[in-house]
Amino acid sequence: MHRGRIEVPEYIACLLRRLDAQGYTGYLVGGCVRDALLGRCPQDYDIAVGAPPRELLRIFSGYHTVETGARYGTVTVMADGHPVEITSFRRDGTYTDGRHPRTVEYTDSLAEDLARRDFTINAMAYRPDAGLVDPFGGEADLRRGVLTCVGDPRTRFAEDGLRILRAMRFCAVLGFSADAALVSAANACSPLLGEISAERVFSELTKCICGSYVRQVLEVFATPLCTVIPELAPAVGFDQKNPHHIYTVYGHIAAAVAACPPVRVLRLTMLLHDIAKPYVMTEDEVGVRHFRGHQERGAQMAGEILARLTCDRKTAAQVCRLIRYHDLRPAVDRCSIHRYVLKVGGYETALLLTAVRRADLSAQAPAYHNQFSSIDAAESMILQLQREGAPADVRGLAVRGADLLAAGIPSGPQMGQTLAALLEAVADGKVENTREALLLRAGSLILEK
């Protein structure tokens, strides 16, 4: 973590100088200060200043400006090709919708502006000639790796329920632990998440679960997560009573999410892959629990959840497909793996499933970890088939419908059945994927009928 001076890009320094020339003192605020102190390159820069919005438009009249948040005093200035948000110092009025203040009052006090922010690590300001302004101990919290609210956490969350998910995201991405008062307030205020738009919830949730430190966040913030996805609640504390597992269903889910590459479709899959287990559980005469059909039921539940959270259809469909097939364990031989590729829907899905299976196995009992070698071998075979151009669907066959029509096979259901039979024959190694061999095979299929 950096101490002292923060490097400021010239285009930002130029904006600050322009404000100075007009009698206003601007400060870098928020995430850019936090990230710079952490030694990270800020993705963007925000400036706060004690000038009302109309003054900002006048001061930067020579720039391309957009009133991106006129109600809240924000003007976006394009500087050297970079959009920079410049916001007037303000104090917020009463929050009535759990998201936005009813009124905003402009002020010339930086301290008042910082006091309305969510977390101490986001409530710091900086300018090159004055150094760091840190009234709430944000720099100390950065050094300790602790996320703390500015003031009373229940008040902060009551103002804006989305801050609960933002807290989870910061902890997951930065590896910070959450202050005990923050966690308590997040649990108590989690019903407020029901007032937040599904789009905003899903955006924060996906950023959170793709964080490198997501496991501890899922474990600590189970109550808010289950408010967003109530179908997960039965998994919390649910004993699997099965030799394959050493964690509860929810504990297994948390471990599996963390074990998966930080790719959105994969992390969403692991978050939901065993969600149906408590709903389909049966227990045998010796007390061992079984979860037959949880894959299909889980895929159905995941589809409903993702639709509710406004996930895009392509991602949702892939997540549901991965959940449906996450427990398939094909034999590692050419024909079995080729049939597996056909069954799951192609090479992309088959390769994603190897990552899913590894993450799933990582979160199971160590006695079964010898199965990793089988997953590795399956992946190698999938890649080999892909390199060879082995067909993953009928479009990969060396014949087309027109070829079969010319060979006397009528269009319609029989055409589709013939193409499917040819694809299976190629996968089983019974016929080569060449035009001549496939037409000969198609002819024999006609004779068989």
pLDDT score of 132: 95
User: Which is nearest to 198 in space by CA: 37, 316, 68?
Assistant: 316
Q: Would you write out the chain's pLDDT as a tens digit for each of its 449 residues?
A: 555 578 899 999 999 999 999 999 999 999 999 999 999 999 899 999 999 888 999 999 989 998 876 566 889 999 999 999 999 998 865 655 555 556 578 888 999 999 999 999 999 999 999 999 999 999 999 999 999 999 999 999 999 999 999 999 999 999 999 999 999 999 999 999 999 999 999 999 999 999 999 999 999 999 999 999 999 999 999 999 999 999 999 999 999 999 999 999 999 999 999 999 999 999 999 999 999 999 999 999 999 999 999 999 999 999 999 999 999 999 999 999 999 999 999 999 999 999 999 999 999 999 999 999 999 999 999 999 999 999 999 999 999 988 888 888 888 888 999 999 999 999 999 999 999 999 999 888 766 65
CB 216 within 8 A of CB 145: no
The answer to whether 319 and 307 have CB atoms below 8 angstroms apart is: no
- What's the pLDDT at 426? 96
Q: Give the up-direction half-sphere exposure of residue 71: CA atoms within 13 A in the CB hemisphere.
A: 6
Q: Cα–Cα distance between 85 and 82 in angstroms, integer?
A: 10
How far CA 423 is from CA of 161, 335, 338, 432, in Å, comes to 53, 12, 10, 10
Contact in structure between 272 and 256 (CB atoms under 8 Å): no
Rounded to two decimals, what is the model's pTM? Answer: 0.92
Residue pair 168/226 in contact (Cβ under 8 Å)? The answer is no
The DSSP element (H or E) to which 79 belongs, if any, is strand 74-79
Distance between first and last Cα of the chain = 75
* Distance of alpha carbon 98 from alpha carbon 237, whole angstroms: 30
The rounded distance, in Å, linking the Cα atoms of 309 and 205 is 10
Contact 102, 71 (CB under 8 A): no
What phi and psi values does residue 105 have, to the nearest 5 degrees? -120, 125
Distance CA 219, CA 341 (A): 35
Q: Which amino acid is at 199?
A: E
Q: Are 252 and 363 in contact (CB under 8 A)?
A: yes
What pLDDT score does 20 carry?
Answer: 96
DSSP string across 124-186: -EEETTTEEE-TT-HHHHHHHTEE-BSS-HHHHHHH-THHHHHHHHHHHHH-PEEPHHHHHHH
Distance in angstroms (rounded) separating the CA atoms of residues 226 and 233: 5
Backbone angles phi, psi at 303, to 5 degrees: -60, -40
Rg (CA), the chain: 28
Question: Diameter of the chain by CA atoms?
Answer: 92
In this prediction, residue 443 carries a pLDDT of 82
Angle at 54 between CA 52 and CA 57, to 5 degrees: 115
